[in-house]
Structure formats: structure tokens, C-alpha cells
Amino acid sequence: MSYKEIISVPGIKPVLFTLFMVSFGFGVILPMLPFYALSLGATPFELGMLTAVFAFMSLVFSPIMGRLADRFGRRVILLVGTCGFAVSYLLFAFTDSLAMAFAARAVEGIAAAAMFPACISLISDFTTEMQRGKAMGLVSMAFSVGFIAGPAFGGLASSFAVKDAFLLSAFFAACNFASIALHIKEPKEKAESKDIATQEIGLLSHIKSPLLFLFLSSFMVAFMIGGIDAALALYTGEQMGFSSTQIGIVFTYIGILIMAMQLATGSLVNKYGEIRLIKWGLLLSGAGFFLLMFSQSWLLLMLALAVFVCGNALVFPSVTSLITKKVHGKRGAVLGLVSSFNSLGQMLGPLVGGLLYGISHQLAFLGMAIIIWAYWILFSLFGAKKAEEKREV
């Protein structure tokens, strides 16, 4: 079955558009947030907190939104989440204090908690099991395209007026609201799409160590991304003199690399196996952070980021692939648990990156590299053997 046939399934296109807009909105913030926060008097650690609060609110509210979606329907929750994004952009546009910026970021995190589970659940209900793999591939593509377009738009728009960039993002959120209201109809929910959060509680009581190391690997991916989000914009702005437009170009470049790696990773998994790719990915990710310490030019920066992104992009698909092979019962609940580990990593990564950057910009990159390589040693000595066990959940 082709991607064209998947897209033609009723309801798929507006859901993919919704996911694109969520990723786009998140990307718009990236090049502007450091300058915006610093202009409000934020320290590097507070900038890390501003990045982390998004993940924290998403982590806390995801199960709540899941239960509300069960009660009121996914379409309603999507509409609420889209309104939340519009409100957060308006708050950013008119904020005059760091506290208000934190409030805007918190609202954005709650909105994301409403959007992600509902969209994935709808995709599951709109598609058959045979269509599911390619449908989830389209989800990744929608996310990647949004992550490419968002920073480019944010960096360019902020060179004219930051306020106008946020107001335009609020307008796009309103367009997304109209798309959901007009084109998405609540389907009959399948059993496998029901409240994942309630299943996770019982699942945690019998998770075995092979899966635990895979969860930790997923956590490390999000931790690395959070760390680079917190430190990269500060470093390029303060040490290399980059404007928000140039930082937007950097994040757009990262998005293009991610998308390119997504196209290649599937064949690499089949050729070399998940365990080997996880090891290589962790090594490369740490090397990317290490090389960032010496990035004093565009060329060196692009090279370091390419190494980091290639490593990062090898780990996550490999972890997901291995989990889906090992898990048969309650697969949705386990993947939901992976999402929880991701949120935790997205929360702690910016805090650690921001804290280390406040001490020394070189320590931010060196410290993250050491943490990643330390986990690589732990995974190589213990995790790989456990993850290769034939036991299933």
C-alpha cells in the first residue's frame, strides 16, 4: 500500500496537518526564545527552565488529556489544544515579564499534551493494522517538515518584529482550529486506542530489565535534544554573534538532517541491527557535543551538528523498532511509556544544559558528551546483552 493511498483515507490529511502545525509552532519558538528570554532578564539556567517547563507540563497533563479524550472525544480535545497554542502565542506576543513567558510556555506544554495523544489515537482509528506502519511514517514526516519550516519562519519573522511573528503563529493556530472543526469527524474508537495512561500503571509492575534499558535509551535521545536546545542558541548567539535569523537557519538545517536520516535509518536497521545502531548512535551523539566545543565557524558548526544529528537519528528509530519486536501484548501502552520517558528527558536535558552553560559554555557541551558516553559504556556492558534477550512482554 502506497503513501498516496494512506493519505486518501478520510480524516488522515487534517490530522497530519494538525501535527505539522504543532511541530511548526514549536519550531517557531526555537530561534526567538533565547533572545526573548535574555531580554526579559533570564539567566542561562532560567532559559533551560523555560525550555523544560514545556516538557514538564506535557508530561503531567498527557494522562489527564487522555482521560478527557476518552470522555469527550479526541476531536474536542484537539480543538481545545489548538486554542491552547493560540493563547500561548498571544501571551508570548504581549509578555513583558519572565513570569508571563513561563506562563505562556506552560500553556503551550498543556496544549501539546492535548494534541499528541489525540492525533496518534485518531491515526490508529482511521487506519488498519496493515496501514499503520506507513501512517506512522507520515506522522514522522509531518513532524519533520514542520520542524524545518518552523525555525526558518521564526528566524526570518523575528528579524522584522518578534511580536508579529507570534501573532502570525496565533493566526496559523486559528486556521488549524478551523481545519479540525470542518474536516475531522470523531470515528468509532478501537480498543487498542483507549486510554493508554491507565494501562501503564499495571504495566510498570512487570517491566523487565531488557525494556528498561530501551526506555533509558529513549530518555537519552530526548535528554540530548533538550540539552542542545538549551545551549546551542545561547552559544551561537553569544560566542559566534548569530542573530535570531541565523539561529533559525541552524535549526532548519537540523530539521533537514533529521528528515534525511529518517529516510535512511530503515534500511540501516535491516542491515546492521538495532543494538549496533544504538551503540553507534550514542557514540556519534557524544562526539557531536564534543565537537561543538571547537565550533568557531559556520563550517565547523555544521559538521558538529551533522555528527550529532546522525547519531541521535540512529538511536530513536532503533529503540522503537526493538521495542515493537519485543512487545506484543499492550504494545500501545509500552509505546506510551516510551513517550513518558521522552518527556522526562526533554525536561531534564534543558535544565542540565542550561546549568552547565551558566558555569561555562564549553562545559555545557563537554558535560553533555561525558553523560552520553557514560551511558554508552553502561549500555554496552549491560543494556545491549539484556536488550538482545528473546523474552517478550
Q: Give the CATH class of 12-182.
A: mainly alpha
- C-alpha span between 376 and 286 (Å, rounded): 9
State the cell numbers at 362. Answer: 564549553
pLDDT value of residue 35? 75
**Extents of the domains making up the chain:** 12-182, 203-393
pLDDT value of residue 198? 44
Amino acid at 200: E
pLDDT value of residue 360? 84
The CATH homologous superfamily for domain 203-393 is MFS general substrate transporter like domains (1.20.1250.20)
pLDDT value of residue 184? 83
**If you search the block for the grid coordinates 501503564, which residue do you land on?**
200
Residue 292 and residue 308 in contact, taking contact as beta carbons nearer than 8 Å: yes
Residue 239 and residue 293 in contact, taking contact as beta carbons nearer than 8 Å: no
Q: pLDDT (tens digit, 0 to 9) for every residue of the chain, 393 residues total?
A: 566 777 877 778 888 888 888 788 777 777 777 777 878 888 878 877 887 788 788 878 877 887 787 788 888 999 999 999 999 999 988 988 899 999 999 999 899 888 877 887 787 778 776 766 667 667 767 877 777 777 777 777 766 677 777 888 888 889 889 988 888 887 765 555 454 434 444 444 445 556 778 888 888 888 888 788 778 877 887 888 887 778 878 878 887 887 787 777 766 777 788 888 899 999 999 999 999 988 888 899 999 999 998 888 888 777 777 776 666 555 545 655 666 677 788 778 878 887 888 888 888 899 999 999 999 999 988 877 776 665 555
Tell me, yes or no, if the two domains 12-182 and 203-393 fold the same way: yes
pLDDT value of residue 199? 45
Cβ atoms within 10 Å of 330's Cβ, excluding its own: 17
- C-alpha span between 221 and 206 (Å, rounded): 24
Q: With left for phi above 0 and alpha for psi between -120 and 50, is residue 190 left, alpha or beta?
A: beta
